[in-house]
Amino acid sequence: MIDTPQRQPGESDITQLLDVLEDEDCRAIFGATSAGGRSAKELADECGIALSTVYRKVEKLVRAGFLDERVRFSGPGRHASEYVPRLERVEFTFSARGELDVTVTRIDDEETQISDRTDR
């Protein structure tokens, strides 16, 4: 499983979110999981992306909090990782003073506010 260390929200979180959102492969993979958990092989087939690329993009999505990795059991002694969506909504709010607030709502109803209080 991919290790996702806990960190305090900050500007690096915003950068990470934007990096994932601008990546076409990440968006395709995240979209494919909306119908239910998918293995890396299923994601590669469904999205038309090389399996090695899927593994890199899935790791990026898990680290950014878009996906969770779970174990799928498919018989005695057989199991594989599957990826399910964790992120429900991302809201960006810009103030008149140039402040950026990002609110992330996860499927488990956990809401996290990420603020960048610097002028842009």
Q: Apex CA 80: angle with CA 74 and CA 84, to 5°?
A: 105
For residue 31, name the pLDDT band (cuts at 50, 70, 90).
Answer: very high
With b for 16 or more beta-carbon neighbours within 10 A and e for fewer, the 14-39 pattern comes to bebbeebeeeebbbbbbebbeeebbb
Q: What is the pLDDT of residues 94-104, one digit of tens each?
A: 888 888 888 88
Kind and range of the H or E run holding 84:
strand 79-85
Question: So what's the pLDDT on residue 99?
Answer: 84
Structural domains in the chain plus CATH codes? 11-86 (1.10.10.10)
